[in-house]
């Protein structure tokens, strides 16, 4: 899979707020699929699993099977990747834009 495809999967995975919330939930400690489902009472279990699949395919969630349970682990590396190669530079540009604005106001 190309870098662009990977990038795209990551951005697409982050596009849904439920999925971002799932990542937030996994940030402190891994959780089983059942636990995650319990924390999304509004969503059907199948829907939660579909979201997990999208996250897994973007490599944002890594799965370890243990008995009849499935532990979902957060993998923050792909986020760091898009951060480094795409988002970071924009943030820098935004800062320098603010800097220029400030200069303009002062000067």
**Contact positions vs a copy of itself (CB under 8 A):** 4, 7-8, 11-12, 14-15, 17, 20, 23, 27, 76-77, 79-80, 82-84, 86-88, 90-91, 93-95, 97-98
Contact partner, 79, from DNA, a copy of itself, none, Cβ < 5-8 Å per class: a copy of itself
Locate 33 and state its tokens.
């699929």
Contact partner, 68, from DNA, a copy of itself, none, Cβ < 5-8 Å per class: DNA
Q: How many CB atoms lie within 10 A of CB 10?
A: 20
Of the two residues 24 and 93, which places its CB atom closer to DNA in the complex? 24
Give min distance, CB of 30 to DNA, in A.
11
């Amino acid at each position: 899979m190309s870098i662009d495809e990977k990038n795209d999967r990551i951005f697409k995975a982050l596009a849904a707020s439920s999925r971002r919330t799932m990542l937030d939930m996994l940030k402190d400690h891994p959780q089983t699929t059942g636990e995650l489902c319990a924390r999304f009472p509004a969503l059907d279990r199948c829907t939660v699993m579909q979201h997990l699949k999208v996250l897994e395919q973007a490599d944002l969630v890594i799965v370890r099977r243990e008995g009849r349970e499935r532990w979902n682990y957060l993998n923050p590396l792909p986020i760091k990747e898009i951060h480094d190669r795409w988002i970071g530079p924009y943030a820098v540009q935004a800062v320098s834009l603010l800097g220029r604005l400030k200069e303009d106001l002062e000067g």
